[in-house]
Amino acid sequence: MMPMGRTRLAAFDEMLPDASSGPRKPYTAYERWLREQDSARLTEKMEDAERVFRKTGITFAVYGEQEASERLIPFDIVPRIISGREWRRLTQGIEQRVQALNAFLDDIYHRQEILRAGRIPKELIARNAAFLPEMIGVRPPAGVYTHIIGVDIVRTGEDEFYVLEDNARTPSGVSYMLENRETMMQLFPELFQKIRVCPVENYPQLLRQSLAEVAPSGAGSEPTIAVLTPGSYNSAYFEHAFLADQMGVQLVEGQDLRVVNGHIAMRTTEGYKQIDVLYRRVDDAFLDPLTFQPDSVLGVAGIMDIYRAGNITIANAPGTGIADDKAIYSYMPEIVEFYTGRKAILGNVPTWRCSEPDSLKYVLEHIAELVIKEVHGSGGYGMLVGPAAAKAEREAFAAKLAANPGNYIAQPTLALSTCPVLTEKGLAPRHVDLRPYVLVSDRIRIVPGGLTRVALKEGSLVVNSSQGGGTKDTWVLDD
């Protein structure tokens, strides 16, 4: 989720920070190639890319709209390029953060030492809807809680990177990362011969390998893996089906599963077959109607009992939402230092916790300057961008904020870095963010790149696809 709206903040341009001095080093070879291209050819390639995406069926659903409920995510053919040096620094910071998140989850559902040490207020956990008491004392197979994490990173300068959000529940978008790369390789094969770009296409194999490594101890040498989807009406259904197909595993719905002899089994043409690892894309509340929401038809009755008995791995583990809660996010520097013994390599965006009276007072007084987010919000919904909002909007939001301050945090409006996009008038800078994907088992694997989301309207900071953003291929140079 990104700060949104239209702004005139001075932004660092990742390709051309200073028009008089030429492109930055990571872009040198690409920019040289680009200058040799005919604009009509590039426009034609953009149209080719759209046809590829439409033919492949790469769409997402938009909730709450009568028309165009299925949309094509806009794709820009100018890649976002990151040097090997920059990537190595990012991966060090991401690995440190992911280790801290997993240690935090294990602690918060067991000894709660971080609460005893007074580093996080107890009420922030006890009153948090993302904290699952049902997970207290439960340790997942292999001790891993967050098997797949999407870390949202923003850039504000040459060497200034910040984590904006930790997506520790069911991070989406990796299918677009893979399709973006495949499309670029189809459209511009000569570029990949000129420029050494690290591959991302092995992500599905790495995902399957990582999931197999966290299977229960009794699963055997070839554990059975399945992807649990809420169904074809879910906004990310394309991705669920895509990943199951790419991994060579079954895509299942709750109605396909049942408890058989102390395990979860899926229905097949040859009867029910035991599942060892379930990559679930169903929220906690719908996972087990016997434990959580009783009217859910998306999950499996009794799966939590099987899970507590250690007979199935659920990725990501139930209760991981407490780790990407936005109020908890504001304590991430303390969390990283508490569990790793070192200062955080990647910083947080400064955050005001509106539950604190002094912070609430400041936010209400400076509402026109800040981005205000719901603690449990996602996808760019339920938030206010002060600089882009009308006075009436700010006043209405201030009333909601005053009535329920614990539901909100606030942050400054960042000058997100820009990358060029191809428009009808040529290249133009647009704001971007980056979501690298992290796989956790007995080791941490990070595919070099990730999903670059781009705000397509001039001056806008909206990068969410649900709010009109698009995507780019992300190149990490093999240098």
**The predicted structure's pLDDT at residue 62:** 52
**The predicted structure's pLDDT at residue 466:** 63
**The predicted structure's pLDDT at residue 387:** 86
Asked whether this chain's domains 217-311 and 351-413 adopt the same fold, the reply is no
Contact predicate 394/402, CB 8 Å: no
**The predicted structure's pLDDT at residue 59:** 59
Per-residue 3-state assignment (H helix, E strand, C coil) for 140-187? CHHHCCCCEEEEEEEEEECCEEEEEEEECCCCCCHHHHHHHHHHHHHH
| Residue 136, both tokens | 């207290």
String of b and e for 314-335 (b: at least 16 CB within 10 Å)? bbbbbbbbbbbbbbbbbbbeeb
* Burial (CB count <10 Å: 0-12, 13-18, 19+), residue 112: middle
**The predicted structure's pLDDT at residue 116:** 97
**The predicted structure's pLDDT at residue 56:** 78
Q: Where are the domains of the chain?
A: 217-311, 351-413
**The predicted structure's pLDDT at residue 70:** 61
Check if CATH label 3.30.1490.270 holds for domain 351-413: yes
Q: Which CATH class is domain 217-311?
A: alpha beta
Question: For 6-36, what is each residue's pLDDT tens digit?
Answer: 445 679 999 999 877 889 999 999 999 999 9
Question: For 396-441, what is each residue's pLDDT tens digit?
Answer: 999 999 999 988 999 998 889 999 999 988 899 999 999 999 999 9
Q: Which residues of the chain have pLDDT under 50?
A: 1-7, 63, 65-68
Q: pTM, whole model, 2 decimals? A: 0.92
